[in-house]
Amino acid sequence: MAVLIVSYTVYQWREPHLRADAAGTQVVNSTSQGRDIFASHCATCHGDNATGGQTAPTLNSKQFLEAASDPVIRNIVSSGIPGTAMPTWSIDFGGALTQQQIDAVVSYLRSLEPKAPSIPNWRQAAQAK
């Protein structure tokens, strides 16, 4: 019985740290995957590192990243923007990406936020160059 009590106490002490470490690793992996997906699917229009392409907005912008929540970004990537060149990317809407891949792209974009430059006119293409 004493062994069980000690084991449970150790478990309670270690578990929050193990979960935090696992969550941190998951964010790093998701961000890395998102960077690769962005480079292969999004950079053509939005530029390398989301700095704005010739036809698409600058996503690496303090103003964009502060204004757009994760669900909004996820929805835009998933379903596109009607009447623009932004296509649907979600498999559910005929695109090429799974929801996990779209979440990884959101994680990558969110990782840019701490160092994102101030670009008030981020909606115009190629503003961060």
What pLDDT is attached to residue 37?
A: 97
Give the integer Cα–Cα distance in Å for 73 and 105: 9
Cβ atoms of 61 and 116 within 8 Å: the answer is yes
Give the integer Cα–Cα distance in Å for 89 and 26: 23
CATH of segment(s) 26-115: 1.10.760.10
What pLDDT is attached to residue 86?
A: 93
Give the integer Cα–Cα distance in Å for 14 and 128: 44
pLDDT along the chain (129 residues), means of 10: 74 73 72 96 93 89 96 97 93 95 97 94 70
In the chain, where the domains are located:
26-115
